[in-house]
C-alpha cells in the first residue's frame, strides 16, 4: 500500500516502476515513514512545509508554542520583592537582630555585638525564665538621657526589614533573675538570693564585680514579683541601670512580660564571638522553684491518670 500511495503522488502513472523489482520503491516509502505521514511524501521523497506544520500540530489540534523564558533582569525585581517580604516576616515573627550599645552586660556581651533574638516562642505563650538574656521595650523611660543616633535612609530601610538593628526602637537587654511569684533579695555585696536560695553567679557576673551593690540608690532591696512581671539585672553589676535603679517608676523596677520582645539566643557578630547564650547552671539548682504547700502537687496528676485508666482496663477485660 505504501508503494501505491507514493506512485499516485508522483504523477507518472507508475510508468517508472514497470519492469523494476518491487524493492525499488522502498526508499520512497521509507521517506514517507520518516516524515510521520504515509500520504505526506513529496516528489523525490522530500517533505513539504505543509506536512511539517501538520506534524507539529498533531491529531489534537494546534500545539502550544513554548513560552520564551523571562530574562534575568525581568525576574530580578520579583526575586527582590519576595526576599524583602520574607525578611519582613522573619523579623516580625521569627528572629530579629539587635545591637549591644553599652557595657552593662559584660562579659557575656560586649559593646558592638550583634545578637539574634527569638521572637517566635512568645507567640505560643512562652514567658521569660530565670537566667535568660532578654530584649524588652523600655518600660518607663529607663533610657532617659541616653544618646540617640540619627540613621540615614538606607539604615532605616535595612532596620525595617530586620537586616540591621533599629536605632529608633527603645529597647534594652538584661538577664532575667526573677519571675512572677519570686522573692528577690540583695543584702550587702551579696550573694543575690531567689526564694531564699543563693545564686552562684561567678560564671557570668563581670570579673571584679560583686553580685549586689552596697549603696543606698537601689543596690539593697527585697521585692516580691507579681505574676506577669520579671526582675532584670545586668551582668556588669556595678555598671548597669536595671531593675534595681528604676524602682521609682510606675512598675517599681519590674518589667511587664508583655514588653518582652524575645530571648537573645545567639551572638552573631563579630565572627570571633559567635556563640549561644545558654541559661547558667545556677538557675537549675534544686529548691529554687519551691513554693509553700506545693509538695504534694507532683503526685496529683499521677493519681488522676491512674483513676482514668482503671475504668478503661475493666471495660476491655469485660469485652474480652
pLDDT in tens, 70-80: 777 777 777 77
What residues does CATH 2.10.109.10 cover in the chain?
Answer: 79-284
According to the model, what pLDDT value does residue 286 have? 87
Distances 225 to 130, 182, 212, 282 between C-alpha atoms, Å: 13, 6, 18, 20
**Which one, of 221, 228, 226, 229, lies nearest residue 192 by Cα?**
221
pLDDT tens column, 181-210: 999 999 999 999 999 999 999 999 999 999
Among 119, 166, 174, 240, the one annotated catalytic: 174
Q: How much is the mean pLDDT over the chain?
A: 74
Q: Read off the pLDDT band of 139 (50, 70, 90).
A: very high
Query: What is the pLDDT at residue 93?
Result: 58
- pLDDT at residue 11 greater than cutoff 70: no
Residue 117 main-chain phi, psi, to 5 deg? -110, 125
Q: What is the CATH number of domain 79-284?
A: 2.10.109.10
Catalytic site residue 104?
yes
Q: Lowest-confidence range among 73-77, 88-92, 314-318?
A: 314-318
* 280 close to 131: Cβ distance less than 8 angstroms: yes
pLDDT computed for residue 94 by the predictor: 72
Catalytic site includes residue 174: yes
Task: Give the tens place of pLDDT for each residue, 230-256.
Answer: 999 999 999 999 999 999 999 999 999
Picking from 226, 121, 124, 109, the residue whose alpha carbon sits closest to that of residue 174 is: 109
Q: Which of these is catalytic: 10, 35, 104, 240?
A: 104
134 half-sphere exposure, CB direction, 13 A CA radius = 31
Amino acid at each position: 500500500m505504501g508503494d501505491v500511495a507514493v506512485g499516485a503522488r508522483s504523477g507518472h502513472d507508475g510508468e517508472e516502476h514497470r519492469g523494476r523489482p518491487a524493492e525499488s520503491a522502498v526508499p520512497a516509502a521509507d521517506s514517507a515513514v520518516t516524515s510521520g505521514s504515509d500520504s505526506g511524501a513529496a516528489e523525490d521523497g522530500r517533505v513539504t512545509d505543509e506536512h511539517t506544520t501538520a506534524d507539529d500540530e498533531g491529531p489534537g489540534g494546534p500545539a502550544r508554542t513554548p513560552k520564551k523564558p523571562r530574562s534575568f533582569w525581568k525576574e530580578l525585581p520579583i526575586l527582590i520583592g519576595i526576599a524583602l517580604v520574607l525578611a519582613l516576616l522573619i523579623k516580625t515573627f521569627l528572629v530579629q537582630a539587635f545591637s549591644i550599645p553599652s557595657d552593662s552586660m559584660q562579659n557575656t556581651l560586649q559593646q558592638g555585638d550583634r545578637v539574634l533574638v527569638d521572637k517566635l516562642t512568645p507567640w505560643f505563650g512562652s514567658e521569660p525564665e530565670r537566667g535568660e538574656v532578654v530584649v524588652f521595650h523600655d518600660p518607663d523611660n529607663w533610657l532617659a538621657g541616653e544618646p540617640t543616633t540619627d540613621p540615614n535612609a538606607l539604615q532605616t530601610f535595612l532596620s525595617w526589614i530586620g537586616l540591621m538593628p533599629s536605632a529608633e526602637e527603645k529597647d534594652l537587654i538584661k538577664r532575667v533573675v526573677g519571675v512572677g511569684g519570686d522573692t528577690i533579695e540583695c543584702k550587702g555585696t551579696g550573694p543575690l538570693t531567689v526564694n531564699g536560695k543563693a545564686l552562684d553567679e561567678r560564671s557570668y557576673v563581670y570579673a571584679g564585680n560583686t553580685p549586689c551593690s552596697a549603696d543606698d540608690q537601689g543596690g539593697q532591696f527585697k521585692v516580691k514579683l507579681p505574676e506577669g512581671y520579671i526582675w532584670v539585672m545586668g551582668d556588669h553589676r556595678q555598671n548597669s541601670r536595671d531593675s534595681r535603679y528604676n524602682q521609682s517608676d510606675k512598675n517599681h523596677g519590674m518589667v511587664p512580660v508583655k514588653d518582652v520582645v524575645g530571648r537573645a539566643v545567639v551572638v552573631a557578630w563579630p565572627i570571633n564571638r559567635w556563640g549561644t547564650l545558654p541559661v547558667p547552671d545556677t538557675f537549675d539548682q534544686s529548691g529554687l522553684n519551691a513554693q509553700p504547700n506545693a509538695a504534694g502537687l507532683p503526685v496529683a496528676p499521677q493519681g488522676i491518670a491512674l483513676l482514668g485508666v482503671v475504668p478503661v482496663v475493666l471495660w476491655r477485660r469485660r469485652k474480652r
